[in-house]
Structure 1
Amino acid sequence: MAEPLALYVHWPFCVSKCPYCDFNSHVRERVDQVAWRAALLADLRHEALLLPDRLVSSIFFGGGTPSLMPPATVAAVIAAAQEAWGLTDDCEITLEANPNSVEVANFAALASAGVNRVSIGVQSFDAQILEFLGRAHSGDEARRAIAAAQEHFARVSFDLIYARPGQALGQWEAELNEALAFGTGHLSLYQLTIEPGTRFATLAAKGDLLIPDGDTAADLFDATQAVTRAAGLPRYEVSNHAKPGEESRHNLTYWRYGDYAGIGPGAHGRRLAQATERHRKPENFISAVGRNGHGLKVEADLPAHERATEAMLMGLRLTEGVDLARVEARSGLGREAFVDEGAVERLSGQGLLVRNGDRLAVTDDGILLLDSILSEAVRTS
C-alpha cells in the first residue's frame, strides 16, 4: 500500500485581519455554515476519488481561524475522511485556534469531534505587543487558553513572534521562559518578517516600522536555540521546537515531501506528481464547487526536476536533513541532477553542511545562512 496521506483543510474566515498576516484570510459579516460544510465535503470527495487506496495519517484545519468552525463541521470533515480513505490508528488531527474566550469555549466540543492536537496563535503575552500585532486577545486570555487546551487535548502547541521592533534579548528570554513553563510538547517560534501586501509592509515602506537588523535577529535566534534546547524542546525545523516524539506529523509530511491533499479556499496540495491549488476567494471557491463539484483552480503536472528541487528546499529546513535516496525515488532522477556536489563539499568543509550516507543536513552553524546554502547546494535547473 502507498504511503499515508496528509489532509489540509482551509477555513478562510477571521474576525479581523492582522497587520502582519499574508495568509488567505477574509472577514465576512455572515457565513452560511450549511453551504460551507457541504462545499468542504464535496471538495474532499473529489480528492478521495483521485487518491484511492490510501490512509490519512494527519488532518490539519488551518486558516483563517478554524476554531470559528462549528464543531459539527469539523466532525463531518473527519468522518468524511474516515469514510473516504480511512485514518491511521495514530492519526494526528490538529486545529489552529485563537485564544479568544468564545473560541476556547468550543474546545470540549472540538475534542469530542475528534481533534486531538491544537495549535494556538498566542504570538505574545504582552498587552502592548498584542495591540501592535493586531491581536484581539489579552495575555491572560492566552494563558487561560493554553491551560484549557491542556485539559481537553492530548497535544498542545502555540506560536510566538519575536525579533519585534525594539525587542531586547532579555525581554525575549523572559517571554520564552514563561512560554516553556506551560510544559507543552511543541512551540512554533517565528521571527517577525515583513510580508508584501500587508499593513506592516506599508508602514515599513514609509519608514514607520523598523524590525531588528540581521545581527540582532541572529542573536535572538541563537538565544532561542539555547533556551529551548535546555528545556528539552530542541529545534527540529527552522522555527519549530518539540520534545522528542511531539513533532508535528502533518508538517513533517510537507518537509519530507510526502503526498498531501489540500481542500478549501486557496489550499495547496501535492499529489501524484501534481501541484494543486484551490480558488482563494471564498465566493469563487463556493461557486467553483457548485459548478464543478470541487474548488480546484490549478492542477498541474510537476516536472521531475521541479519535484526534486521542492523536496530539497523543504527537507533541508529540517534538523534531520533530507534523504537523498528518497528524493531520487520520488523524482526518478539521479542526485547529480539536483545536488551540486562541489558546493556540498565546500560547505561541508566550512561546517555549514553535514553528510551521513544518503542524508544531507544543514548544521546549527549553517541554519542562519539557509537561503544562501540552498542557492549553492541545490541545482534548480
Structure 2
Amino acid sequence: MTNGQEPTLQSKFQGVSLGALFGDCFGARFEHMKGTPIEEVIVHFDEVVEKVNTSKAQTENSVEKGFMGYTDDTCMTFDLGEALVDKKGYNAKYVLKKFTQTFLAAPLERNYGDSVRKIFYKLKTVGFRGDPYELASKQFDGSGSYGNGSAMRVSPVPLFHHNCIPEMVTLASNQSKLTHSNPKGINGAIFQTLAIEKAMTTEKITDTGKYCRELFEQLKETTPAQEDLGVYEEKIENIVSLLNADHEVTLEEINDKIGTGVAAYQSVPAALFCFLQTLDESKISKLSKFNGMVRTAIYATAMCHDSDTVASMSCAIAGAYYGVESVPSEWVWACEGSDRALKIANALFEINKSGGNMNKDKECKLM
C-alpha cells in the first residue's frame, strides 16, 4: 500500500524478490548480536541512504553500486528462482547442482550453514547421479535438519505457483527436502510460502490475530509433513498474544515466546511477527517516520538473533503486501544483486501469467 494505492501484482512479485534481498543485506550487519537497539539499526539505515545520495550527487560515484553484500540466504534464493525459470518447473537435481556450484564458488562471507556445507562438499565428491534427497535425509542420525535454510530461500515458490496452493506447498516441501528434511524444517518452508502468498492476496489486514490463525489452519490443511505441527500452533498463539499486548513488546518477550534463532520453528514465526507488529505506523514510535517495508526491516533486524534471515523472510512478506515501491530506492542501489532479483521476479511473473507453471492434473485454489 504505497500512497494509498493498491500495488499491482507485478509490483508485489518484485516486492517479494527485492524485499527478501533488502532484508538480507540490511540484517547481515547485525547477525548473531542477539538483539540490537532500534536506534542503532536506524543509524545504519540512514547512513547507507546518505552514502548513496552523496555518491549520486558527485560527478563520479564515490561508492560502487551494490556495495552492501548479500549472504547465503540470497545465494540460494537466486539459485532456486533461476532454476524454476530455466526449467519452467522444479527439477530437483538441477536445483541441487546450482546450489552446490554456487556454494563452491562463493566467498566465505556468504556464511553458509554447517549442515548444507556438508551436503555440498559431499556432492562435490560423489556427484549428482543418485537420489537428490538422500544426503539431507541422513543428517542428524536420520532425523534431518530443522534449520531455517529452506525457508529463507523459498520466496520464488509462491511467485512461481501464485494462486495455486497445492502446487506451491508441494514445491516448498520438495525443495526443502534437498537440504532440510525434518518435518519442522519442511513446515517452516511451507509456512513462509503461505505467509507470502497470503500477504500477496490480502488487500488490507484488519485483524492480525485472525490472520495468524487462518495462516496456521492453511498450513495444517495442506502440509504433507503432519508431524510436529504443534510447535507452530504454539508459536502462532504466542504471536497473537504479543500482537495484542498493551505495552511495547521487549526483546526478552520475543525470545521467550517465539525465539529468533536458526531453527525454522523460531525464525519463520518471528518473521511473520515482525511484519505484523509493524503494520501500524503508530505502534512503535521510533519507527513512525518510515514506511511499512522499512519498519519491518529495522524491527526484524533489531529484535532477532539470526537477523539477516529473519529480516529477509519478513521483508519478503512485506514486499508481497506493500509492493516494490516500498523498497527504498537508495537501498535498491546499495544492495548487491538488485538487478538480478528484479529479473527473477519479472521472469516468474511472466511464467505465472502465461500459465506455463501449471500442472493440469491438480486443482488450484487460494483456500
Structure-1-length-normalised TM-score: 0.28
Structure with greater proportional helix content? 2
**Larger RCO (CA under 8 A, 6+ residues apart):** 2
Structure-2-length-normalised TM-score: 0.29
Structure with greater proportional strand content? 1
